Amino acid sequence: MFWTIVGFGVLAVLAFDTVASFVSVGFGFPYEDAAVGSVLIYATIGYLVFRRQGFFSAVGAALLVEVVDATLGWYISWQIGPGALPVEQATTAVIATTIVFVLIFAAVCAAIGSVIARVIHGPRTNA
C-alpha cells in the first residue's frame, strides 16, 4: 500500500506541476497560488498512509514524493516557464535552500493529513 500511494502521489504531483505551469503561462495565473494544490496532495498522502502504517511512514511517503517534485517537477515547471529562477538567483545555495524548504513543507502537510486521519478514524489500522 505504501508504494502504491507513493506512486500515485508522484503521478499526481507531476501532473499537477505540468497543468499548473501551463495554466500559469497561458492565463497569467500566479504560479505561487498553485501551492494550495501541493498542500492537498501532501496532506492526502499523509492521510492515506497514516491510516495503514502510521505517522512516520506517512511523512516518509510525502518526503519521497517531494523529492520527485523538487527535482523532476521543478524541472518541468522550469522548462514550461513559471518555475524558472532568474539567472542571478539560480545558484546552488538558492536551489538547495528551496529544496530543503519544500521538504519541510511536505512533511508538515503530511503531518496535518495524519492528524486529520487520526481525528476522523482513530489510531491507525493494520488492514
What is the average pLDDT across 15-36? 93
Q: b/e string for 60-90 if b means 16 or more Cβ within 10 A?
A: bbbbbbbbbbbeebbebbeebebbeeeeeee
Q: Where are the domains of the chain?
A: 2-121
Cβ neighbours of 16 (radius 10 Å): 17
Tell me what pLDDT residue 127 has: 52
The upper half-sphere exposure of residue 88, i.e. CA atoms within 13 Å in the direction of its Cβ, equals: 0
**pLDDT mean over 50-66:** 96
Lowest model confidence (mean pLDDT) among 27-36, 51-60, 82-91: 82-91
Minimum mean pLDDT among 54-58, 96-100, 120-124: which range? 120-124
CB atoms within 10 A of CB 122: 9
pLDDT digits (tens, 9 = 90+) for 45-56: 999 999 999 999
Q: Is the pLDDT of residue 78 over 60?
A: yes
Distance of CA 116 to the CA centre of its chain: 17
